[in-house]
Amino acid sequence: MRQDRSLETAVERIEDWSKQPGSPITALWRKPAREADCRPLPAEVSAPLRSTLAARGIRQLYSHQLEAWEKIDRGENVVIPTPTASGKTLCYNLPVLNALSEDPETCALYLFPTKALSEDQLDELQSLISGMGSGIRAFTYDGDTPQDARKSIRQRANIVLTNPDMLHTGVLPHHTKWARFFEHLRYIVIDELHIYRGVFGSHVGNLFRRLKRICDFYGSKPLFICCSATIANPKELAGKLIEQPVSEIESNGAPQGERFFAFYNPPVVNRQLGIRRSYIAETRRLASSFLENGQQTLVFANSRLATEILVRYLKDAAERGALPPESVRGYRGGYLPRERREIEKQLREGEVRAVVATNALELGIDVGSLDTVVMAGYPGTIASTWQRAGRAGRRQSLSLSLLVASSAPLDQFIVQHPSYFFDASPEHAQINPDNLEVLISHVKCAAFELPIQDGETFGPHPTAGLCEFLGEAGLLHHAGNSWHWTSESYPADAVSLRTVTSDNFVVVDITGEPNVIGEVDFNSALTTLYEKAIYLHEGRLFHVERFDYKERKAYVKNVECNYYTDAIDYTQVKVIETFESEPLGPAARSYGEVRINRQIVGFKKLKFYTAENVGAGKLSMPEQEMHTTAFRLTFPHAFLQSFTDYSSAEKRSGLVGLGNVLRTVGSLLLMCDPRDLGVAISSGVDRSGPESDPELYLYDNFSGGIGQSEPLYRMHDQLLRRSRDLLVSCPCEAGCPSCVGPLGEVGEKAKEVACRFLNELTPARNA
């Protein structure tokens, strides 16, 4: 086919390009095609199911599918961590449908992280059920399910497909209406397990504690079947989430087409300042060339703003070329469900030739066979990068993935040390379900669902102290050897599994008749929907006319302008409690609980294509407060005074640059997304007195913390030495975006001052 041939030509050009001196292609990885490792279908598979599979061309199983069948048949919980498009769906559909063939009363709960994935999997499941000609009843049950259909689903469904949020607010609190379902619940499928990390995973771990508690009440002991993308610790993560023994499926018998993966580092345009070509502009150029050559392309961006800018750029490029602008679409959270389903369908059918997406399309939604994936910036983790790359070549065809590095330090580290990426295992997914703030929220929900008995545990935790605390707060009452919920409030509604608050802002287009065009989560709304902001949606520009904080609405009008806006925030940190502290040469290190106050104080107007600053404005948005934990470096005033050859401004700039480097190296050591770590500098560089000693904070960017600050405290020596190595090895002269940050954020001597600070804190290296 022409597309295959042109893709081969594109790969050949990149191979030639990578061999040229000074090439921006810093690495080209190739994985050869692999044949399938197939095994016979188990004899126990029922005749209707066997014939249905045969009609779909499935007469054998991949080795990992058979291994999963055997372990599930033995009554083991399993986790299947195979790559994208390796047939994980059949790993759980096969045992569930076979059990339903034998016992029509059997029930199964399928959990997917998003509603879109539930709908996608329902289509696959319904086609199997239809082929079997059985009376198996499978339905999605989520926020979009009509009210008049819900009662019927509760009474009749064998298989319910839902998401953690609906399980949390719509199923468990109303379990008495689901009595039949829970009594016969035999399987719980957890798809996209790797998504349940950080604060979301910590909440979901407690959600499963509540789910198992309900199952015990109805006398069922379901098996857990978990599916995950490739991460370093799938068995450990699954075990932490369900708090039961889990068997890992280690084989992968799925076939795979030939795959190429290239790292592209935009050329340097100012060597002294270390400034490279814009990674957004380079992504646009490369993606446009693939489109012109007929390759269906998926572009990933790391933020809502970058996504919308790239949509606009690629629509402009399509219009100048032979493609209609409608062949380029955006895809991100905040688009309305109907709009997203339409984009998915058009992508599968080939009507759309390019989609620019956030991580919303990392998941296993079927988008057909894509030729190329272009990533605008490193996603933050090895696991996420491979997940995005796996979206190309899903039908065992040739595929090409291209990572375009930004100037961020972590991006530059990855593309300049490709062996770190290609030779290292993916990250460990970390959760902390015992985070007190998260834990007590779910104890409230559990008490609402069923009285908490004296001596009962919630996970490994005795509940007596927690219940007494909630009793003193007037939420629980002790009677008859158990604690009962007494408040009129509905606790699940007040607990968001994903964010600090469950409130979303609705975006209303008032250009003509008022029309809702999207929604934005609470935290993002404060940085994107302030008055005078330019809100981008599918490449179209809207001016925010009014921001109604109380009603959670933003009113926008369609405009044409040559700039977009970017918010400026201000962060303050206050130490609440220090858990541990030790001297660190002339400074000190510690970690503990802190309060973060963040406020949006202004915005910049940035010109499209050049990012030139063409204006600014002041804002007074509501201040947001968060309690979390932080690793802290304290620099005594006497230590800073010893650097007599630098001004106060230069010393502060050095601390800001040092904070940027420490966050980069810290995220590598913790194997987490850099956005999971916040960085802040306290004031006091040019004042005396112990209360004014400046401090540098690396804090957990989640309310309550997820356990990242203590490891940084323990690994301080490695953290500081690697940070120093990164600064010394960076080829720039005076600091650049690849080490201490952009010069608009730090001064000309930031790199020099940061190196001096690190030399003092790591004296052994200088011996």
Query: Among 139-143, 572-576, 669-673, which is the least confidently predicted range?
Result: 669-673
Phi, psi angle pair for 526, to nearest 5°: -65, -25
- pLDDT confidence bin for 765, thresholds 50/70/90: very low
Q: Residue 764: is its pLDDT beyond 60?
A: no
Query: Among 231-245, 573-587, 732-746, which is the least confidently predicted range?
Result: 732-746
pLDDT given for residue 667 in this prediction: 81
Phi, psi angle pair for 622, to nearest 5°: -60, 140
User: Check: CATH 3.40.50.300 for 2-33+256-423?
Assistant: yes
Q: 272 Cβ partners below 8 Å, 6+ apart?
A: 732, 733, 734
CB neighbours of residue 731 within 10 Å: 11
pLDDT given for residue 305 in this prediction: 86
**Which residues make beta-bridge pairs with 32?**
none
Mean pLDDT of 540-558: 91
> Position 106: which residue type?
T
DSSP H or E run through 213: helix 198-218
Distances (CA, A) of 234 to 62, 164, 195, 230, 238: 20, 19, 11, 8, 6
Segment 617-673, tens digit of pLDDT: 888 888 888 888 899 999 998 888 888 888 888 898 999 999 989 998 888 777 666
pLDDT given for residue 688 in this prediction: 45
- What span, in angstroms and rounded, lies between the C-alpha atoms of 718 and 723? 8
For residue 112, give the nearest of 144, 142, 156 by alpha carbon. Answer: 142
What torsion do the CA atoms of 752, 757, 761, 767 make, to the nearest 10 degrees?
40
Q: Please, what is the Cα angle at 738 between 766 and 18, to 5 degrees? A: 110
- pLDDT confidence bin for 350, thresholds 50/70/90: confident
Higher pLDDT, 150 or 607: 150
Q: Residue 255: is its pLDDT beyond 50?
A: yes
- pLDDT confidence bin for 395, thresholds 50/70/90: low
Binning the chain into helix, strand and coil, the percentages to the nearest 5 are 40, 25, 35
**Could you report how far apart the first and last alpha carbons of the chain are, in Å?**
63
Q: Look at the alpha carbons of 706, 712, 715, 718 in this order and tell me if their dihedral is positive or negative.
A: positive
Q: Residue 472: is its pLDDT beyond 60?
A: yes
pLDDT given for residue 243 in this prediction: 95
Mean pLDDT of 257-286: 86
Are the C-beta atoms of residues 571 and 680 closer than 8 Å to each other? yes
- What span, in angstroms and rounded, lies between the C-alpha atoms of 256 and 262? 18
pLDDT given for residue 328 in this prediction: 92
The first and second tokens of residue 301, run together, are: 């961006």
- pLDDT confidence bin for 698, thresholds 50/70/90: very high
The first and second tokens of residue 671, run together, are: 């194997």
- What span, in angstroms and rounded, lies between the C-alpha atoms of 442 and 458? 9
The residue extents of the domains of the chain are 2-33+256-423, 38-248, 436-484, 504-561, 570-598+622-761
- What span, in angstroms and rounded, lies between the C-alpha atoms of 244 and 745? 48
For residue 263, give the nearest of 465, 72, 405 by alpha carbon. Answer: 405
Q: Quick one: 316 exposed, middle or buried, by C-beta within 10 A (0-12, 13-18, 19+)?
A: middle
- What span, in angstroms and rounded, lies between the C-alpha atoms of 549 and 191? 36
CB neighbours of residue 417 within 10 Å: 15
pLDDT given for residue 115 in this prediction: 76
Are the C-beta atoms of residues 397 and 271 closer than 8 Å to each other? no
Mean pLDDT of 525-540: 87
Helix orientation angle between 115-132 and 337-348, rounded to the nearest 10 degrees: 60
The first and second tokens of residue 553, run together, are: 């609405």
Task: For domain 38-248, give the CATH superfamily.
Answer: P-loop containing nucleotide triphosphate hydrolases (3.40.50.300)
- What span, in angstroms and rounded, lies between the C-alpha atoms of 537 and 258? 36
DSSP 8-state assignment for residue 94: H
What pTM was estimated for this model as a whole?
0.77
Mean pLDDT of 706-733: 85
Helix orientation angle between 436-449 and 198-218, rounded to the nearest 10 degrees: 30
